Amino acid sequence: MKHYPSDLAKFGGEPQFREPLHVGRPNIGDRAALMERIEDILDRRWLTNHGPYVEEFERRIADYVGVKHCIAMCNATIALEIMIRAAGLKGEVIVPSMTFVATAHALQWQEITPVFCDIDPVTCTLDPKRVESMITPRTTGIIGVHLWGRACQIDELTEIAERHHLKLMFDAAHSFGCTYKGQMIGRFGEAEVLSFHATKFLNSLEGGAIVTNNDELAGKARLMQNFGFEDTDSVIYVGTNGKMNEISAAMGITSLESIDEFINKNHENYNLYQQELAGIKGVRLMPYDEREKTNYQYVVLDIDEAAIGLSRDDIKDILHAENVLTRRYFYPGCHRMEPYRSHFPHAGLLLPVTEHISQRVLSMPTGTAVSADDIREVCAIIRLAVDHAAEIADRLKQQTDALVLQ
């Protein structure tokens, strides 16, 4: 345990952790069950092209969410692209900038303009009042992003979309296993996209899915994910290769069988962070709505630089030196990345809340690979940094000045 600023690795001390603590290190589940499924796949020699494990995974996901259709994909980005095309979007689509860049890229890739809208300061998801002001004659849809397992203001967005005759869809990459007003996320809008990337609490190695109750959209998506093939020799629609393979599906099924274990561990970690960070000036754990079911996949800190005397990035750098590889989800916002930075150089003027939040939030390591002792040690480092903020700020300035003089 570290007691003084000089103990910190940033200032020459030994790192607290020999091995890096990651945000989103994969959960594995029942290794023996996974290997048994992989052996079966190899024995069958059916590795891809809508095998029995993919079909089972799709059926289980659809049943869990409570929708008619689940179309498993090789990854969530392809799922977004196919969902967007199957819905017939074009022109402009309103999205948050506070999201992973894939949300915007899936539109831009198809020559659809992502129109970045500001977020609500409490939910950190699309602000419905701002959405309405961004609608133009070229707008064809809205894609909301359920951020950190916290649902969009779905009712308000649905009302706006219906009134303006727009398609409403959701990027639910963070939100499998979460609810909105007691209903599973995945049931809303025209369709929603799930992610089963290795960093997600429930993973299929790499993968994603479209979930929907829209029969027409589901039919188009199934064609598109397999080059537009209706049957062996008949292509009736333009498409690509978005299929999930059998081993990914086997991992997804294995993960599903451990979903309660994963969520319980995440919840324990969240509660322990809350306990260990209590009373630290300027550090707030972003809350979940305990009335809803959630996956507790993300432990997100709000860092108040004015209260502490250290910035979010100062805290990040201190933790990184200790091998605690925190992440700035999502910094600096899609509008500050290319090609959007060049296309919309002044977008930040319309996104004050996004700009503010993206400078403050820090995602912490959690999941089955993180122990209670790990969390206590991480929080102790944060407490040390805050308690000695003035001295640490001075040391950081000296380090920066020395680099400038070199």
Element containing residue 261 per DSSP (H, E): helix 259-277
What's the whole-number mean pLDDT along residues 112-122?
98
Residue 406 has pLDDT above 90, yes or no: no
Residue 356 included in any domain = no
Asked if 228 and 315 sit in the same domain, the reply is no
Residue 93 included in any domain = yes
pLDDT tens-digit profile of 36-80? 999 999 999 999 999 999 999 999 999 999 999 999 999 999 999
Residue 253 included in any domain = yes
Asked if 235 and 268 sit in the same domain, the reply is no
Q: Of 225, 257, 289, which closes a domain?
A: 257
Residue 78 included in any domain = yes
- The dihedrals phi and psi of 120, each to the nearest 5 degrees, come to -75, 135
| Helix 259-277 with 246-257: angle, nearest 10 deg | 60
- Chain length of the chain: 406
Could you tell me the pLDDT band of residue 193, with boundaries at 50, 70 and 90?
A: very high
The residues near 232 (Cβ < 8 Å, ≥ 6 apart) are none
The DSSP call for residue 3 is -
Write the CATH number for 165. 3.40.640.10
Residue 249 included in any domain = yes
Residue 1 has pLDDT above 90, yes or no: no
Which whole-number Å values give the CA distances from 404 to 90, 313, 317, 336, 401, in the listed order? Answer: 48, 19, 18, 26, 5
Number of domains in the chain: 2
The DSSP call for residue 266 is H
Residue 143 included in any domain = yes
pLDDT the model gives residue 235: 92
Asked if 194 and 315 sit in the same domain, the reply is no
Asked if 113 and 54 sit in the same domain, the reply is yes
Residue 227 has pLDDT above 80, yes or no: yes
Asked if 181 and 66 sit in the same domain, the reply is yes
Q: How far is CA 329 from the centre of its chain?
A: 8
Asked if 53 and 117 sit in the same domain, the reply is yes
Could you tell me which of 147, 144, 172, 174 has the C-alpha nearest to residue 156? 144
pLDDT the model gives residue 305: 98
Residue 56 included in any domain = yes
Structural domain containing residue 124: 31-257
The DSSP call for residue 124 is -
Could you tell me the pLDDT band of residue 352, with boundaries at 50, 70 and 90?
A: very high
Which whole-number Å values give the CA distances from 80 to 21, 74, 253, 301, in the listed order? Answer: 30, 11, 22, 28
Residue 189 included in any domain = yes
Asked if 117 and 215 sit in the same domain, the reply is yes
B/e letters for 261-272, b = 16+ CB within 10 Å, e = fewer, are ebbebbeebbeb
β-sheet bridge partners, residue 142 = 94, 168
β-sheet bridge partners, residue 71 = 210
Asked if 181 and 263 sit in the same domain, the reply is no
Average pLDDT score over the chain: 97
pLDDT tens-digit profile of 142-192? 999 999 999 999 999 999 999 999 999 999 999 999 999 999 999 999 999
Asked if 244 and 141 sit in the same domain, the reply is yes
- Distance between CA atoms of residues 105 and 94, nearest Å: 13
Asked if 253 and 306 sit in the same domain, the reply is no
pLDDT the model gives residue 403: 80
pLDDT the model gives residue 404: 78
DSSP strand E in 91-217: where?
A: 92-96, 113-117, 139-145, 167-171, 179-180, 183-184, 192-195, 208-212
Q: Of 240, 257, 274, which closes a domain?
A: 257
Asked if 49 and 158 sit in the same domain, the reply is yes
Asked if 200 and 296 sit in the same domain, the reply is no
Write the CATH number for 271. 3.90.1150.10
Residue 405 has pLDDT above 80, yes or no: no
Q: Of 257, 284, 310, which closes a domain?
A: 257
